Amino acid sequence: MLYRYTGQEDLCVGSGVANRRWRETEGLIGMIVNNIVLRTDVSGNPTFRELLAQVRQVTLEGYANEDLPFDKVVEALKPERNLSYNPLFQVMLSFHDALLPELRLPGLTIKQHETVSNKSAKFDLDIVVIPRSEQRVGRHSGTEAQGIETEGITVVWEYNSDLFDAATIKRMMEQYQTLVEGIVANPDQQISQYPLLTPEQQHQLLVDWNETKTAYPEGKCIHQ
């Protein structure tokens, strides 16, 4: 989708890693997430399967080096810095696959409340994918009673409101879903050929915005 939006073939996307693969950090209280940069080359208009294989390899290599602090990567590469955007990447995609804990304490009734957004954007665009059914594994049936959704996949779109309007993000979300549906239907198609516009958006572009028919007075020339 970024390739289709930007026309760029060399894309860097950030992703967060829990940074807890060492036993000493498993019980540590606090957030110690580290950012990694995943660089993808989409030149040559590959098929989705080819792109997926490349991204898989890049991601595995990124995870193998996830302990290297992001700040050290920036320090080594020395990119041109600008206070208006994050270095190396401005779009992040994170996948939250951690199981939710079962909160059952004697004498207490506990209800979990999810905070979807804290009203601040860390990057230009930050997309968080939450697989609900995977988080449900091993949990008791009381989950629904605690008010936590357990079905499907939730995709949270966090964006810089100085750069994007809500209507723009809503349109991007719809186009992302259209793109995914096209990929599922034919994963061997070249990435430039997948549909991006929803039927409503296509009708708006081709029909609504081309309603230019005008009634001109008869019996006069063009210059008149």
Counting the structural domains of the chain, the total is 1
Which CATH number does the domain housing residue 181 bear? 3.30.559.30
DSSP string over 179-203: HHHHHHH-TTSBGGGS--S-HHHHH
Please tell me the predicted confidence (pLDDT) of residue 143: 45
The parent domain of residue 35 ranges over 2-100+117-210
Asked if 86 and 123 touch (Cβ cutoff 8 Å), the reply is yes
Please tell me the predicted confidence (pLDDT) of residue 194: 95
Task: Kindly provide the residue ranges of all beta strands, DSSP E only, lying in 18-58, ordered along the sequence.
Answer: 34-41
The two tokens of residue 85 are: 């955007």
> Is 222 a member of any domain?
no
Q: How far apart are CA 16 and CA 14, in angstroms?
A: 7
Dihedrals φ, ψ of 177, to 5°?
-65, -40
> Is 106 a member of any domain?
no
> Is 215 a member of any domain?
no
The two tokens of residue 154 are: 């939730």
Q: How far apart are CA 122 and CA 125, in angstroms?
A: 8
> Is 219 a member of any domain?
no
Place of tokens 């700040």: 71
Q: How far apart are CA 96 and CA 128, in angstroms?
A: 7
Please tell me the predicted confidence (pLDDT) of residue 102: 64
The two tokens of residue 68 are: 């290297």
> Is 105 a member of any domain?
no
> Is 6 a member of any domain?
yes
Please tell me the predicted confidence (pLDDT) of residue 31: 81
> Is 190 a member of any domain?
yes
> Is 224 a member of any domain?
no
Q: How far apart are CA 197 and CA 189, in angstroms?
A: 17
- Give the chain's end-to-end CA distance (angstroms, integer): 48
* pLDDT tens by residue, the chain, 224 residues: 999 999 999 999 999 998 888 788 777 888 888 999 999 999 999 999 999 999 999 999 999 999 899 999 999 999 999 988 899 999 999 888 766 666 677 888 777 666 666 778 889 999 999 887 665 544 554 444 445 556 788 888 999 999 999 999 999 999 999 999 999 999 999 999 999 998 888 898 889 898 888 888 888 888 88
C-beta neighbour count of 105 within 10 angstroms: 7
Please tell me the predicted confidence (pLDDT) of residue 179: 95
198's CB contacts (< 8 A; 6+ apart) are 174, 175, 178
Q: How far apart are CA 3 and CA 176, in angstroms?
A: 12
Polymer length in residues for the chain: 224
